């Protein structure tokens, strides 16, 4: 996974968790909790994506890739920016990967 994708994931997850905790007081305890949450989620995303990219490089099966991406989409903190960056990274691995309209809808429609 490249640095650009890692940076986007880190930034987006930090924003997500700070927004999720915005109604709580900004005590050191709350800030530590936010940090713990986003660090755990960053590690989780990085590990998941490492496995996803490795699996895709080995088998090049688009159906499995889409399943994994749809599952990732449902993880806490995932959003359009993260998903677009991941798809961009997949395109670097294999430029022939193209998503049809149903797959695009599944991957890029997020509840606000």
pTM metric for this prediction? 0.88
* pLDDT tens figures, 8-31: 999 999 999 989 888 877 788 888
Do 97 and 62 form a contact (C-beta atoms < 8 A)?
Answer: yes
The pLDDT value recorded for residue 106 is: 84
Phi and psi, residue 100, nearest 5° = -80, 175
Q: Is 11 exposed, middle or buried (0-12, 13-18, 19+ CB in 10 A)?
A: middle
The pLDDT value recorded for residue 38 is: 94
* pLDDT tens figures, 37-76: 999 999 999 999 999 999 999 988 888 999 999 999 999 9
With a cut of 70, say whether residue 112 has pLDDT above it. Answer: no
């Amino acid at each position: 996974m490249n640095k650009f994708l890692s940076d986007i994931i880190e930034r987006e997850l930090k924003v997500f968790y700070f927004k999720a905790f915005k109604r709580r007081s900004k005590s050191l305890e709350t800030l530590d909790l936010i940090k713990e949450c986003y660090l755990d989620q960053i590690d989780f995303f990085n590990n998941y994506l490492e496995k996803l990219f490795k699996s895709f490089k080995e088998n090049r099966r688009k159906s499995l890739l889409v399943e994994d991406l749809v599952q990732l989409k449902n993880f806490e903190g995932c959003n359009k920016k993260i998903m677009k960056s991941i798809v961009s990274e997949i395109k670097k691995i294999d430029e022939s990967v193209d998503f049809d309209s149903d797959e695009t809808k599944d991957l890029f429609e997020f509840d606000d």
